Amino acid sequence: MNPQDEKVIEVRGLVSRFGDTVVHDRINLEVRRGEIFGLVGGSGSGKSVLLRTLLLLIRPAEGEVDLLGQGTDVMDSSTLNQLRRRLGILFQQGALFSSLSVLDNIAFPLREYTELSSAAIVDIARLKLDLSGLPPETAAKFPRELSGGMLKRAALARAIAMDPELLFLDEPTAGLDPVSANAFDELLLKLKHDLGLTVVMVTHDLDSLWRVTDRVAFLGNKRILALSPMAELSESSDPMIAEYFSGPRGRAAGSEHRGTRSSVSDAGRRD
Protein backbone atom coordinates (compact mmCIF):
# COMPACT_ATOMS: atom_id res chain seq x y z
CA MET A 1 0.00 0.00 0.00
CA ASN A 2 1.23 3.49 -0.84
CA PRO A 3 2.06 5.22 2.48
CA GLN A 4 0.06 8.24 1.32
CA ASP A 5 -3.05 6.05 1.11
CA GLU A 6 -2.73 5.09 4.79
CA LYS A 7 -5.61 6.41 6.88
CA VAL A 8 -4.26 8.00 10.06
CA ILE A 9 -7.71 9.24 11.13
CA GLU A 10 -10.96 7.40 10.51
CA VAL A 11 -14.26 8.74 11.83
CA ARG A 12 -17.37 6.60 11.41
CA GLY A 13 -20.91 7.59 12.37
CA LEU A 14 -19.75 10.30 14.78
CA VAL A 15 -22.47 11.87 16.90
CA SER A 16 -21.57 14.76 19.22
CA ARG A 17 -24.28 15.68 21.69
CA PHE A 18 -24.44 18.00 24.68
CA GLY A 19 -27.69 17.47 26.54
CA ASP A 20 -30.43 17.80 23.93
CA THR A 21 -28.17 19.68 21.50
CA VAL A 22 -26.76 17.62 18.64
CA VAL A 23 -23.62 19.18 17.16
CA HIS A 24 -22.65 16.39 14.75
CA ASP A 25 -25.02 13.82 13.31
CA ARG A 26 -23.39 10.72 11.78
CA ILE A 27 -20.17 12.28 10.49
CA ASN A 28 -17.77 10.15 8.45
CA LEU A 29 -14.31 11.25 7.34
CA GLU A 30 -10.77 10.03 6.90
CA VAL A 31 -7.41 11.78 6.89
CA ARG A 32 -4.53 10.27 4.93
CA ARG A 33 -0.92 10.17 6.02
CA GLY A 34 1.13 13.13 4.83
CA GLU A 35 -1.71 15.45 3.85
CA ILE A 36 -2.76 18.84 5.17
CA PHE A 37 -6.45 18.48 5.89
CA GLY A 38 -8.63 21.57 6.42
CA LEU A 39 -11.79 21.88 8.49
CA VAL A 40 -14.05 24.81 7.62
CA GLY A 41 -17.62 25.92 8.13
CA GLY A 42 -19.66 28.76 9.45
CA SER A 43 -19.87 29.86 13.06
CA GLY A 44 -21.49 27.15 15.18
CA SER A 45 -20.87 24.38 12.67
CA GLY A 46 -18.93 22.32 15.23
CA LYS A 47 -15.36 22.73 13.99
CA SER A 48 -13.91 23.17 17.48
CA VAL A 49 -15.93 20.28 18.88
CA LEU A 50 -14.69 18.01 16.09
CA LEU A 51 -11.12 19.15 16.67
CA ARG A 52 -11.38 18.42 20.40
CA THR A 53 -12.88 15.02 19.62
CA LEU A 54 -9.99 14.16 17.30
CA LEU A 55 -7.59 15.31 20.03
CA LEU A 56 -9.23 12.78 22.38
CA LEU A 57 -10.42 15.52 24.73
CA ILE A 58 -14.12 14.73 24.13
CA ARG A 59 -15.64 11.28 23.75
CA PRO A 60 -18.35 11.06 21.08
CA ALA A 61 -21.90 10.24 22.11
CA GLU A 62 -21.96 7.64 19.33
CA GLY A 63 -19.67 6.43 16.59
CA GLU A 64 -16.02 5.48 16.33
CA VAL A 65 -12.77 7.45 16.05
CA ASP A 66 -9.60 5.62 15.04
CA LEU A 67 -6.28 7.44 15.33
CA LEU A 68 -3.01 6.09 13.96
CA GLY A 69 -4.60 2.71 13.42
CA GLN A 70 -6.01 2.40 16.92
CA GLY A 71 -9.67 2.38 17.93
CA THR A 72 -10.16 4.93 20.69
CA ASP A 73 -13.72 4.15 21.75
CA VAL A 74 -12.69 1.30 24.06
CA MET A 75 -9.42 2.76 25.36
CA ASP A 76 -8.90 3.39 29.06
CA SER A 77 -7.51 6.74 30.26
CA SER A 78 -3.93 5.47 30.48
CA THR A 79 -3.90 4.23 26.89
CA LEU A 80 -5.58 7.43 25.69
CA ASN A 81 -2.85 9.49 27.37
CA GLN A 82 -0.16 7.46 25.63
CA LEU A 83 -1.84 8.06 22.28
CA ARG A 84 -2.23 11.79 23.00
CA ARG A 85 1.56 12.05 23.28
CA ARG A 86 1.77 11.16 19.61
CA LEU A 87 -0.29 14.25 18.77
CA GLY A 88 0.77 17.89 18.59
CA ILE A 89 -1.48 20.94 18.95
CA LEU A 90 -1.03 24.60 18.12
CA PHE A 91 -3.69 26.61 19.94
CA GLN A 92 -5.21 29.72 18.38
CA GLN A 93 -3.55 32.16 20.79
CA GLY A 94 -0.39 30.10 21.14
CA ALA A 95 -1.11 29.25 24.81
CA LEU A 96 2.55 29.61 25.77
CA PHE A 97 3.35 29.86 29.48
CA SER A 98 3.96 33.55 30.11
CA SER A 99 6.39 32.90 32.98
CA LEU A 100 8.65 30.62 30.92
CA SER A 101 11.16 31.58 28.24
CA VAL A 102 10.57 30.44 24.69
CA LEU A 103 13.15 27.68 25.09
CA ASP A 104 11.56 26.45 28.31
CA ASN A 105 8.13 26.50 26.67
CA ILE A 106 9.41 24.27 23.87
CA ALA A 107 11.18 22.02 26.36
CA PHE A 108 8.15 21.71 28.65
CA PRO A 109 6.52 18.60 27.08
CA LEU A 110 9.92 16.90 26.85
CA ARG A 111 10.51 17.46 30.56
CA GLU A 112 7.01 16.31 31.43
CA TYR A 113 6.77 13.18 29.32
CA THR A 114 10.29 11.89 28.66
CA GLU A 115 13.26 10.75 30.71
CA LEU A 116 15.82 12.50 28.54
CA SER A 117 18.72 14.31 30.17
CA SER A 118 18.51 18.08 30.62
CA ALA A 119 21.24 18.56 28.03
CA ALA A 120 19.40 16.43 25.46
CA ILE A 121 16.16 18.30 26.10
CA VAL A 122 17.83 21.66 25.55
CA ASP A 123 19.43 20.41 22.32
CA ILE A 124 16.08 19.16 21.02
CA ALA A 125 14.33 22.40 22.02
CA ARG A 126 16.95 24.45 20.16
CA LEU A 127 16.53 22.23 17.12
CA LYS A 128 12.76 22.76 17.11
CA LEU A 129 13.33 26.50 17.53
CA ASP A 130 15.52 26.44 14.44
CA LEU A 131 13.00 24.35 12.49
CA SER A 132 10.32 26.93 13.28
CA GLY A 133 12.41 29.62 11.62
CA LEU A 134 13.19 31.62 14.76
CA PRO A 135 16.70 33.01 15.40
CA PRO A 136 18.71 31.49 18.30
CA GLU A 137 18.42 34.62 20.44
CA THR A 138 14.65 34.07 20.61
CA ALA A 139 15.26 31.20 23.04
CA ALA A 140 15.82 33.55 25.99
CA LYS A 141 12.85 35.79 25.27
CA PHE A 142 9.47 35.58 26.99
CA PRO A 143 6.18 35.32 25.07
CA ARG A 144 5.27 38.94 25.83
CA GLU A 145 8.41 40.04 23.97
CA LEU A 146 7.44 38.34 20.72
CA SER A 147 5.55 39.65 17.73
CA GLY A 148 2.42 37.83 16.63
CA GLY A 149 4.23 35.90 13.93
CA MET A 150 7.09 34.93 16.24
CA LEU A 151 4.62 33.82 18.90
CA LYS A 152 2.92 31.47 16.43
CA ARG A 153 6.27 30.02 15.41
CA ALA A 154 7.31 29.48 19.03
CA ALA A 155 4.00 27.73 19.72
CA LEU A 156 4.53 25.60 16.61
CA ALA A 157 8.02 24.67 17.85
CA ARG A 158 6.47 23.45 21.10
CA ALA A 159 3.77 21.55 19.17
CA ILE A 160 6.43 19.56 17.30
CA ALA A 161 8.74 19.10 20.31
CA MET A 162 7.69 15.47 20.78
CA ASP A 163 7.90 14.63 17.04
CA PRO A 164 4.13 14.14 16.71
CA GLU A 165 2.72 11.90 14.00
CA LEU A 166 -0.38 14.11 13.81
CA LEU A 167 -0.30 17.89 14.12
CA PHE A 168 -3.49 19.84 14.85
CA LEU A 169 -3.66 23.59 14.18
CA ASP A 170 -6.44 25.82 15.52
CA GLU A 171 -6.67 29.02 13.44
CA PRO A 172 -2.87 29.19 13.02
CA THR A 173 -2.81 32.45 11.04
CA ALA A 174 -5.53 34.28 12.99
CA GLY A 175 -4.42 37.78 13.92
CA LEU A 176 -1.39 37.79 11.62
CA ASP A 177 -0.74 40.36 8.92
CA PRO A 178 -0.73 39.02 5.33
CA VAL A 179 3.08 38.83 5.12
CA SER A 180 3.37 36.89 8.40
CA ALA A 181 0.47 34.62 7.45
CA ASN A 182 2.08 33.83 4.11
CA ALA A 183 5.41 33.09 5.82
CA PHE A 184 3.64 30.73 8.24
CA ASP A 185 2.00 28.90 5.33
CA GLU A 186 5.37 28.43 3.65
CA LEU A 187 6.87 27.17 6.92
CA LEU A 188 4.03 24.66 7.30
CA LEU A 189 4.59 23.31 3.79
CA LYS A 190 8.31 22.97 4.48
CA LEU A 191 7.75 21.15 7.78
CA LYS A 192 5.23 18.86 6.14
CA HIS A 193 7.84 17.87 3.58
CA ASP A 194 10.88 17.73 5.88
CA LEU A 195 9.22 15.97 8.83
CA GLY A 196 6.55 13.98 7.01
CA LEU A 197 3.82 15.62 9.07
CA THR A 198 0.12 14.93 8.74
CA VAL A 199 -1.79 18.12 9.61
CA VAL A 200 -5.41 18.81 10.52
CA MET A 201 -6.13 22.53 10.42
CA VAL A 202 -9.18 24.56 11.44
CA THR A 203 -9.04 27.95 9.75
CA HIS A 204 -11.09 30.81 8.36
CA ASP A 205 -8.09 32.01 6.32
CA LEU A 206 -9.16 31.47 2.73
CA ASP A 207 -5.67 32.18 1.41
CA SER A 208 -4.23 29.47 3.67
CA LEU A 209 -6.87 27.01 2.51
CA TRP A 210 -5.81 27.55 -1.08
CA ARG A 211 -2.07 27.61 -0.37
CA VAL A 212 -1.49 24.62 1.86
CA THR A 213 -4.39 22.16 2.07
CA ASP A 214 -4.65 18.94 0.11
CA ARG A 215 -8.30 18.40 0.99
CA VAL A 216 -10.92 20.34 2.94
CA ALA A 217 -14.03 19.18 4.79
CA PHE A 218 -16.91 21.67 4.97
CA LEU A 219 -19.12 21.33 8.06
CA GLY A 220 -22.72 22.47 8.07
CA ASN A 221 -26.16 21.32 9.19
CA LYS A 222 -24.49 18.92 11.67
CA ARG A 223 -22.81 17.02 8.83
CA ILE A 224 -19.91 17.19 6.41
CA LEU A 225 -21.50 18.75 3.35
CA ALA A 226 -18.46 18.21 1.12
CA LEU A 227 -14.90 16.89 1.31
CA SER A 228 -12.55 17.65 -1.58
CA PRO A 229 -9.59 19.78 -2.71
CA MET A 230 -10.23 23.53 -2.66
CA ALA A 231 -10.52 23.80 -6.43
CA GLU A 232 -13.52 21.46 -6.33
CA LEU A 233 -14.96 22.69 -3.05
CA SER A 234 -15.04 26.32 -4.20
CA GLU A 235 -17.16 25.29 -7.20
CA SER A 236 -19.76 23.44 -5.09
CA SER A 237 -23.40 24.11 -5.90
CA ASP A 238 -24.46 23.54 -2.29
CA PRO A 239 -26.00 26.88 -1.19
CA MET A 240 -24.19 27.01 2.16
CA ILE A 241 -20.80 26.26 0.63
CA ALA A 242 -21.36 28.58 -2.32
CA GLU A 243 -22.25 31.44 0.00
CA TYR A 244 -19.12 30.80 2.11
CA PHE A 245 -16.77 31.05 -0.88
CA SER A 246 -18.64 33.50 -3.12
CA GLY A 247 -18.12 36.67 -1.05
CA PRO A 248 -15.52 39.27 -2.07
CA ARG A 249 -12.76 37.67 0.02
CA GLY A 250 -13.58 34.19 -1.21
CA ARG A 251 -13.62 35.28 -4.86
CA ALA A 252 -10.34 37.16 -4.43
CA ALA A 253 -8.61 34.20 -2.80
CA GLY A 254 -9.86 31.80 -5.45
CA SER A 255 -8.84 34.10 -8.29
CA GLU A 256 -5.34 34.53 -6.88
CA HIS A 257 -4.63 30.89 -6.01
CA ARG A 258 -6.58 28.81 -8.51
CA GLY A 259 -4.09 26.83 -10.55
CA THR A 260 -1.12 27.85 -8.38
CA ARG A 261 -1.53 25.26 -5.61
CA SER A 262 0.96 22.81 -7.11
CA SER A 263 3.64 25.46 -7.60
CA VAL A 264 3.38 26.47 -3.95
CA SER A 265 3.77 22.86 -2.89
CA ASP A 266 6.80 22.49 -5.16
CA ALA A 267 8.35 25.58 -3.60
CA GLY A 268 7.89 24.05 -0.16
CA ARG A 269 9.61 20.87 -1.32
CA ARG A 270 12.57 22.79 -2.77
CA ASP A 271 13.36 24.64 0.48
- In which order are the strands placed within the sheet that holds 21-32? 21-32, 7-18, 62-67, 70-71
Question: Contact, 271 vs 190, CB < 8 A?
Answer: yes
For the chain, the maximum distance between any two Cα atoms, rounded to a whole number of angstroms, is 56
Q: pLDDT band for 258, please (50, 70, 90 cuts).
A: low
CB atoms within 10 A of CB 56: 16
Cross-strand pairs, 166: 87, 198
- pTM for this model (two decimals): 0.86
pLDDT digits (tens, 9 = 90+) for 72-94: 888 888 888 888 889 999 987 77
Supply the Cα-derived Rg of the chain in whole angstroms: 19
Does residue 55 surpass a pLDDT of 60? Answer: yes
CB atoms within 10 A of CB 243: 11
Question: Contact, 55 vs 9, CB < 8 A?
Answer: no
pLDDT digits (tens, 9 = 90+) for 183-211: 999 999 999 998 889 999 999 999 999 99
Coil/strand/helix, residue 204: coil
